[in-house]
Amino acid sequence: MESILRIIMVQDLVKRQHYVPRTYLKNFSSKQSGDEYFVKALSIETPQSDKIFEINIKNVCLERNLYTLPGETPEQKMLLEKFYSDEIEQHYNKIYTLLTDPTKTSVTAEERELIISTVVTIFYRTTKWLNQHNDLMKRVYAQMFVLCQQAGKDYFLFEGTKISIKDKSLDDLLKEHKVENRPGQVITQLEVALKLIQIRTKSDNIFISKLSDEESEFITSDNPVVLQNIKGGHIAPFDPSNIMKLPLDKKHMLFLMPDADESARNLIVRHNVSGLFCKTEKLISNTEQFQKADRFILGDDSSLNSYLQTKDLAERPLTEEELKKMTSFDDYVNKGKEVGLF
């Protein structure tokens, strides 16, 4: 009996851990086979149609031992992974159905908090934050490593901590830093997310936009939550006045709108867009997904190829002669229509 329990406990050690939930990714799938979902992916490093490939959602947006914590038991090591699974991911199908049902015009306080919690945690748990921090630390450690070698020292001080380089290569040092700091980084991510959830549940309104035109589709990415701020300028991630946007599937976009009127906080405001507004919203969102992605944009063949077509057109600089003719907003709209953006 004891050996059986031990096997069950060991099996609870999940090594391949998703930072974008599969329950989210499956709504962008291009193919389903039984319980298996497949999505088309495209690296942002090679944004070309012939580079699109198909992948099982089990094999994308994941990292080994991303949320594994130090501990003596599987339960201790899987505490963070279990939190995301039990508190967020297992409820996603419910809130997705609610948000995409056109007859639903209101939510309970509990449903509203779960929706906000889902968006905020997806935003903070992606690896883009970790990768940006680790890239910075690589540069810092590389400079300090060289300075130590030049000075004949076998250690350096960083933020009051003694870092030894004795008998280590730079690669050894960087790997050691990544392993030692990862648990603290992912816990900090969750702590920041929980604080922001508390603030946003006091003010956010829920808005759903739907693309009505058949040919217009949203794509997503491995960093799917996008921030906008009506104030303009630099966007601070923790700023509760940011608008938070999350594509729910190929047709639906969720907006968390700050500073909502208290009487409207439990409402779902819905808007169907068509024509020029539909094409514009698709173009803006898909461009944001590409710009904010860490490694991949995701969708199906039609949505990814449609984005690539508009990407080439949108990034073509206007000539000086064309710019001289742009004297009003309508001129820009007409130019967009002329080159095929709208």
Q: Per mean pLDDT, which range of 80-89, 112-121, 207-216, 314-323 is the poorest?
A: 314-323
Section 317-333 average pLDDT:
48
In this prediction, residue 11 carries a pLDDT of: 47
Q: Do residues 130 and 222 lie in contact, with contact meaning Cβ atoms separated by under 8 Å?
A: no
If phi > 0 it is left, if psi is from -120 to 50 it is alpha, else beta; for residue 192 that is alpha
Q: What is the pLDDT of residues 218-244, one digit of tens each?
A: 999 999 999 998 777 778 888 889 999
In Å, what is the CA distance from 182 to each residue of 160, 161, 176, 178, 201?
A: 19, 17, 10, 6, 29
The mean pLDDT of 157-169, rounded to a whole number, is 81
Query: With contact defined as beta carbons under 8 Å apart, do 178 and 212 qualify?
Result: no
337 pLDDT tier (thresholds 50, 70, 90): low
> Does residue 85 or residue 141 have the better pLDDT?
85
Model pLDDT, residue 333: 46
Tokens of 184: 């603290």
pLDDT for res 91 = 95
Weakest-pLDDT range from 69-73, 75-79, 137-141 = 137-141
Helix then strand count (H, E) for the chain reads 12, 14
Percent of the chain surpassing pLDDT 90: 54
Which residue shows structure tokens 């039984």? Answer: 34
Pairwise CA distance, residues 340 & 342, whole Å: 6
Q: Give the best-scoring range by mean pLDDT among 80-89, 187-196, 241-250, 331-340.
A: 241-250
Over range 23-52, report the average pLDDT.
95
* Backbone conformation region of residue 335, classed left if phi is above 0, alpha if psi is from -120 to 50, else beta: alpha
pLDDT of residue 335: 45
Region 129-133: mean pLDDT is 73
| CA atoms of 137 and 114, how far apart (whole Å) | 34
> Above 90 in pLDDT, residue 123?
yes
Alpha-carbon span 287 to 234, nearest angstrom: 18
Q: How large is the average pLDDT for residues 137-144? A: 80
For residue range 250-271, list pLDDT tens digits in order. Answer: 999 999 999 877 888 899 999 9
Q: For residues 116 and 124, what is the distance between their CA atoms, to the nearest angstrom?
A: 12
